[in-house]
């Protein structure tokens, strides 16, 4: 996980990040990303596991995986539309086809016979066995370490490539304040709810460890996601509480009637008030007697009496 290079306030503008000029800043702002906090909370929509290499013979259709092998053959065709096919084999003698419909001449040159390739994608049945269409890949010149965390896949932003966005988020994460500065919830409460700190939750969701519960992450039930959900609910409730206190501080005129009109209205009704309705009326009457706004919602369903 990244070390805090120079901690910054949550409302710090994104222009402090390397590479964020006016044009990029405008593209990010169009998606509501203007501050470091916006990037901290711009959470991945899914994850890709590049922490291991799967033998080609063990690939399963529809299950994304990372493979590594050498180029056995390359075919470039133009029958209906440009197409590039690259046959890849590994030490287990498994063969996988990489298929590209959009490519450049420089890419074709990369796939020289014998070149070592590491590719990631979702295999599916093809004409010559399993194939991956437009995998992400890299040409390996030597030993390249595998990832230590799952790779985040962020919601797309027009004009900003996935790799560029990941680098920006990583820069923003390096400016996260320390845990004591960022944390608002008491440790006892977090422990009782089995939730991580806010800092740990943010870092975990952007860079889950290789042994993370991916199923829980994909379903939104991971403790880190639950912690951010609690944070959002708490912020919402505190915002409502602040608004309520501000409105009540303005004051209003107390309404004190003699109940004659109320008695007349009750008498004209073709039914008697239920206990719940009578209780709600008493609460409303008491609120109206106070020198502050009522701020009460009355809810009722037809046929079951009124509930407060």
Beta strands of 37-94 (E only): which ranges?
A: 46-48, 65-77, 83-89
Residue 4's pLDDT is 52
Mean pLDDT of 21-43: 95
Kindly report, residue by residue over 252-305, the tens digit of the pLDDT.
888 887 888 888 998 999 988 889 889 998 999 998 888 888 888 888 776 655
What CATH number has the domain spanning 56-139? 2.40.50.140
The neighbouring-strand residues paired with 138 are 118
Q: How many Cα atoms are found within 13 Å in the side-chain-facing hemisphere of 189?
A: 9
Please state, in angstroms and rounded to a whole number, the distance separating the CA atoms of residues 38 and 8.
Answer: 13
Largest Cα–Cα separation, the chain:
97
């959470």: which residue's tokens? 43
Radius of gyration of the chain (CA): 30
> Which residue blocks in 142-186 are alpha helix, DSSP H?
162-173, 179-182
- Give residue 250's pLDDT: 81
Confidence label for 79 from pLDDT (cuts 50, 70 and 90): confident
Q: Which helix (H) or strand (E) holds 282?
A: helix 275-288
Domain boundaries, the chain: 56-139, 182-247, 260-307
Q: Is 101 exposed, middle or buried (0-12, 13-18, 19+ CB in 10 A)?
A: exposed
pLDDT on residue 140: 94
Length of the chain measured in residues:
308
pLDDT for residue 195 is more than 60: yes
Looking at residue 307, its pLDDT comes to: 47
pLDDT tens digits for 145-161? 998 999 999 999 999 99
**Residue 97: is its pLDDT beyond 90?**
yes
Cβ contacts of 43 within 8 Å, gap of 6 or more: 154, 205, 206, 228
Q: What is the pLDDT of residue 308?
A: 44
Question: Which token pair is 69?
Answer: 């092998």
How far apart CA 44 and CA 38 sit, in angstroms, is 13
Q: Both ends of the chain: CA-CA distance in Å?
A: 50
Structure confidence at residue 304 (pLDDT): 55
What are the Cα distances from residue 100, in Å, to 126, 132, 141, 281?
13, 9, 22, 71
CA-CA distance, 178 to 185, in Å (whole number)?
14
Q: Residue 275, CB half-sphere, CA atoms under 13 Å: how many?
A: 0
Residue pair 131/96 in contact by the 8 Å Cβ criterion: yes
Report whether 134 contacts 102 (CB < 8 A): yes
pLDDT at 292: 85
């Amino acid at each position: 996980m990244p070390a805090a290079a120079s901690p910054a306030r949550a409302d710090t503008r994104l222009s402090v990040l390397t590479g964020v000029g006016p044009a990029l800043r405008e593209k990010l702002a169009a998606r509501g990303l203007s501050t470091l906090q916006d990037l901290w909370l711009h959470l991945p929509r899914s994850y890709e596991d590049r922490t291991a290499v799967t033998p080609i013979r063990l690939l399963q259709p529809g299950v994304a995986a990372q493979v590594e092998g050498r180029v056995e053959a390359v075919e470039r065709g133009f029958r209906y539309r440009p197409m590039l096919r690259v046959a890849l084999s590994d030490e287990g003698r498994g063969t996988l086809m990489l298929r590209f419909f959009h490519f450049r001449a420089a890419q074709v040159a990369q796939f020289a016979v014998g070149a070592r390739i590491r590719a990631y994608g979702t295999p599916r049945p093809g004409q010559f066995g399993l194939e991956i269409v437009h995998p992400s890949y890299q040409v390996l010149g030597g030993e390249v370490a595998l990832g230590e965390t799952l790779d985040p896949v962020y919601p797309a932003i027009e004009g900003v490539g996935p790799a560029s966005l990941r680098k920006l988020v990583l820069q923003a994460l390096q400016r996260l304040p320390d845990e004591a500065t960022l944390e608002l919830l008491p440790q006892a409460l977090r422990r009782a709810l089995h939730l991580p700190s806010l800092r740990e939750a943010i870092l975990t969701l952007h860079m889950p460890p290789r042994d993370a519960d991916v199923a829980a992450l994909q379903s939104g039930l991971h403790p880190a996601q639950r912690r951010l959900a609690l944070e959002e609910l708490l912020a919402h409730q505190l915002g409502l509480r602040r608004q309520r206190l501000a409105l009540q501080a303005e004051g209003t005129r107390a309404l004190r009637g003699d109940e004659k009109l109320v008695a007349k209205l009750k008498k004209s009704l073709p039914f008697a008030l239920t206990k719940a309705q009578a209780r709600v009326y008493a609460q409303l009457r008491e609120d109206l007697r106070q020198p502050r706004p009522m701020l009460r919602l009355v809810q009722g369903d037809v046929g079951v009496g009124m509930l407060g």
